[in-house]
Structure 1
């Protein structure tokens, strides 16, 4: 695989952004606070279908990235499509390690470097950091989030939501990104559990605030996972074994209030209300 001078991987951070003017600046500032990374780094912001100042704000960081010898490229696409943004970002990327970052995520300073080191090999590897799910104080969101973090998805393996990475050998497992909702699920399940690496560095990922937005967004995520199961059933063999998960009843006894709120959201997800046809927006 291609490496930068000194034998260290060159990193491409691909950042799809659809009307993310409220979130993108802090995301980019967090990247700028990253610890030194061996080898060069490029950040590619793909502003897709934006009607706000996302692209303009991204370009405003050019001097700051240049000051630390990181490349910054801003691509604008007319259509709002995350998968289209990922494909366009990859077409422009030259890194041996590809990091996919959501615009509302704040990486900790060691994360990019740790991912680069962990994926610096010729065999297919996938990686992510340790998520810190943040809430803004909404009562429902606070209790839902606390219980959600005990689910097998959160406690087993490498969830990879918000930010995930892979080396070129891993990315070679499929062609263009398919038109699906849950790109992170698709990516993760293209790797066997033993090929997925969790690095200790953290990142902050904000949970959706409020009952109705939670229902809409978590329903969309469920549909996305079901879509992967239906279209790519062979990938499901790569899911994490569930036999190591703590039983639901035990988790419910440890946090009865969180369990009630969690189940209330799950039941509402199955109802026909609060549905959305938007395949992109996170409902913020």
Structure 2
């Protein structure tokens, strides 16, 4: 991992992008519409293993960022892989604050400034905003999402999926990113609950649409969390305690249809159907 030499005291936004031509322009437009951030800002798009025009589209946004005094760089890697993209982006990044952003996420205007402020100190810190999970109308996804948002993962702590950030002191806790599935879980659990900061600004994160894609992707996420637990058991002590959450039966009474769909997805995850040999399977 590259170490900031102190010349650049700002914020670096890292965006891994593998065939993200349909999503990346909107992501960059939302970034460019952000409120002012104290200090310089650089955006680094890491186009990894792309077979579409992701890199070209990203470069087309350069002038818009330059017009507001920010820089936009595009790195192209021949090999796909999110963890490799994180490593390459960090090697090029200069900021004291590192923001890790998925290419299908839309940040709200105040988010970057709030992350920069929350992570300005010298103590190791991690931060994220408030996720607003979006759906495009599929009824299974809509009901699943509504109930999923009542789980302890969503109601306690700082979930950090889709976008998370840390300062250099926090990032120094490990060397290169390991070859794992759940990068967001690994990053979050490298910080104790009191070191994780939730800022009030929101971001839009799209939920996978349809029953089969939901099963595949949620299974992959379960496998990713289990992988972190197996490889880095010491990190699990940093997980959030969910003993104050509402019991399942109360949530099910309040939303029986959502509970039914949620349980159906969860049961199918553990069944020998809809499995994929690709550990990086995506639902879109």
State the shift of 1:242 in Å.
1.9
Residue 197 of structure 2 corresponds to residue 200 of structure 1 = no
Count of aligned pairs between the two proteins: 281
Q: Please list the CA deviations of residues 203-252 of structure 1 after superposition, one character each: whole Å capped at 9, or x if unmatched.
A: 00000000000000000000000000000011000000121121111111
Q: Judge conservation of contact 2:216–2:281 (CA < 8 Å) in 1.
A: no
- Aligned positions of 1:113-132 closer than 5 A: 113-132=113-132
Q: Judge conservation of contact 2:209–2:283 (CA < 8 Å) in 1.
A: no
Once residues 215 and 281 of structure 2 are traced to their aligned partners in structure 1, the CA distance between those partners, rounded to angstroms, is 14
- Aligned positions of 1:241-252 closer than 5 A: 241-252=241-252
Query: 1:176 matched to which residue of 2?
Result: 176
State the shift of 1:271 in Å.
1.2
Query: 2:23 matched to which residue of 1?
Result: 23
Once residues 115 and 191 of structure 2 are traced to their aligned partners in structure 1, the CA distance between those partners, rounded to angstroms, is 16
- List structure 1 runs of 4+ shifted beyond 2 angstroms: 1-5, 277-282
Q: Please list the CA deviations of residues 162-211 of structure 1 after superposition, one character each: whole Å capped at 9, or x if unmatched.
A: 00000000000000000000000000000000000000000000000000
Query: 1:269 matched to which residue of 2?
Result: 269
- Aligned positions of 1:122-161 closer than 5 A: 122-161=122-161
State the shift of 1:272 in Å.
1.6
- Provide the TM-score with structure 2 as the length reference: 0.97
Query: 1:108 matched to which residue of 2?
Result: 108
Where do 5+ consecutive residues of structure 2 fail to align?
Answer: none
- Aligned positions of 1:223-262 closer than 5 A: 223-262=223-262
Q: Judge conservation of contact 1:4–1:40 (CA < 8 Å) in 2.
A: no
Q: Judge conservation of contact 1:105–1:203 (CA < 8 Å) in 2.
A: yes
Q: Please list the CA deviations of residues 232-281 of structure 1 after superposition, one character each: whole Å capped at 9, or x if unmatched.
A: 01100000012112111111111111000000000111112111233334
The CA RMSD over aligned residues, in Å, is 1.2
Once residues 5 and 37 of structure 2 are traced to their aligned partners in structure 1, the CA distance between those partners, rounded to angstroms, is 16
Where do 5+ consecutive residues of structure 1 fail to align?
Answer: none
Once residues 217 and 188 of structure 2 are traced to their aligned partners in structure 1, the CA distance between those partners, rounded to angstroms, is 20
Once residues 280 and 124 of structure 2 are traced to their aligned partners in structure 1, the CA distance between those partners, rounded to angstroms, is 29
